[in-house]
């Protein structure tokens, strides 16, 4: 079974996604977060479906889910991914988004 590890930054991102959508529709917010989390497991099984993002960090990959982008690092042992961030896709994103200050 493929492993999914979610960083604290990504957990915080998911909370923010839920809060933003829940202002209008809590049910849709929950569905959106659940869909994103389901994609974590798909990526863990098939990390090659991600897009390489060397512009943002060594080994970093991304995968879009609706208006959001999952940023992750694939690992071979054990097979799986480390989810680094989940960000709104229309942002200008730099390397700074991937490090806690």
Q: What is the pLDDT of residues 15-58, one digit of tens each?
A: 999 999 999 999 999 999 999 999 999 999 888 888 999 999 88
> What is the pTM for the complete model shown?
0.91
Question: CA 80, CA 66: separation in Å to the nearest integer?
Answer: 22
Q: Is the pLDDT of residue 64 over 60?
A: yes
**Distance between start and end Cα atoms, the chain:** 33
User: Listing from the earlier edge strand, what are the strands of the sheet with 51-52?
Assistant: 3-6, 80-88, 68-75, 61-65, 51-52
Q: In this structure, are residues 87 and 97 in contact, taking their beta carbons and an 8 Å threshold?
A: yes
Cα 48 from chain centroid (whole Å): 15
Q: Which residues pair with 57 in a beta bridge?
A: none
Grade residue 93 by pLDDT with cuts at 50, 70 and 90.
confident
Q: Where are the domains of the chain?
A: 3-90
Which CATH code for domain 3-90? 3.30.2310.20
- By the 10 Å C-beta count (0-12 exposed, 13-18 middle, 19+ buried), 72 is classed as buried
Which has more pLDDT, 89 or 14?
14
């Amino acid at each position: 079974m493929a492993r999914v590890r979610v960083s604290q930054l990504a957990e915080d991102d998911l909370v923010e996604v839920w809060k933003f959508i829940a202002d209008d529709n809590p049910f849709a917010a929950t569905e959106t977060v659940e869909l994103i989390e389901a994609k974590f497991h798909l990526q863990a099984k098939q990390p090659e479906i991600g897009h390489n993002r060397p512009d943002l960090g060594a080994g970093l990959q991304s995968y879009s889910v609706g208006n959001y982008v999952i940023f992750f690092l694939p690992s071979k042992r054990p097979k799986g991914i480390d989810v680094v961030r989940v960000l709104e896709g229309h942002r200008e994103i730099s390397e700074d988004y991937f490090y806690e200050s």
